Amino acid sequence: MNPIQRARTDFEAYLQEVEDLVKNVLIPNENRLVDEETIPEDLTQALREYGMFAMTLPEEYGGLGLETEQHVRLQMAVTRASCVYRARFSTTVGLVCQGLSQHGTEDQRKTYLPKLASGEMTGAFALTEVMAGSDAAGVATNAKLDGNNYVINGSKRYITNANIADVFVVMARTDEGDKSASGMSAFIVEKGTPGLEVAEVDRKMGQGGAPTAEMTFTDCRVPVSALVGAQEGIGFKVAMAGINTARLHVACTSVGQAERLTQEALDYAVGREQFGQSIAQFQSVQNMLADCRAETLAAKSMILETARAIKVAPTKSQRADISCCKYFATEMVGRVADRAVQILGGAGYLCNHPVERLFRDVRLLRLFEGTSQIHQGIIARHMIEEETSAAANG
């Protein structure tokens, strides 16, 4: 029985296999990811074979058929290794697959989801622009109907996996008179479509091997069948379907990385001696280790509780809870990473120790899928709306 079959029949045994993969294959090969433009093919193939590209989809489309709590636990397990591995499949399973699964036509689902689930195709999500990101309604890329085609013009930036993607879900404005989110639509654009160009891979502070790049669309023609859901004006809904899953997965990644950082710090503290004893015996070091474990457990518990409540698509209240998870967990891992460097001292500042790389990698988690400040606003607005509604209803 292969790992994908086991995932569908015995999740706990499958999760143990994934943990073994992380320990014996993914972590030992992390250094191969540095300064690369993508993950080497042999490691990508391992991710395919263990069903990483299929974790969020139902079995009918080649997915693992997991409940939300299960794919959350799976994501936490995988991200004890470098979060660069997550970047290779997470955009596909979240931003792309969920948008198509929840809002695509049946023909679109049958055409793309099985290939995305197997890892045969890599997906990319093209929303962010110079004036659009946290403000999704700021999208200026436009798509105009011309006979049996839409003609797309505009540019995107920070697009994860743009250089290796086979298919893009692209947000574009189809109603020039409507500058709100309701004027946006979503399109499926395949690699190699004339008029689509991808620039050189961006150089970043961390997460080497997880490529991002700018994209331009110049009179890029796609058939009307490329309109997601065969309906204009639902682009924001398509985006949010994927973004909610992606936000939960970023929170999971923060837990996985925090567990890894805590273990690295603990191992070093136990083995490092100063003043005739292990530095783990000093109370100041113990305090930092304890804070790492306590905060990581708090984030993990929050995410699991939120995931258990989600049955199909999250409700409005659950979307606010997802924001709580994303906000708390990503801020938490930043604190854990800083403590880990502090415990290691000079060793944690040198590039030959994983903690230095992990420290740089996790900084991005507080920025993408909504900055911490954006999520504070989402959470507070939901609280205020609930209070106002309760007061109005007596």
Active site residues: 369
Contact (CB, 8 A) for 228 and 104: yes
Nearest to 172 by CA among 211, 213, 134, 222: 222
Using DSSP, state whether 65 is helix, strand or coil. Answer: coil
Q: How many H helices and E strands in the chain?
A: 12, 9
- Three-class SS of 271-291: HCEECCEEHHHCHHHHHHHHH
Contact (CB, 8 A) for 169 and 95: yes
Dihedrals phi, psi of 188, to nearest 5 degrees: -95, 120
- The CA dihedral of 353, 15, 114, 39, to the nearest 10 degrees, is 10
- CA dist 159 and 198 (Å) reads 10
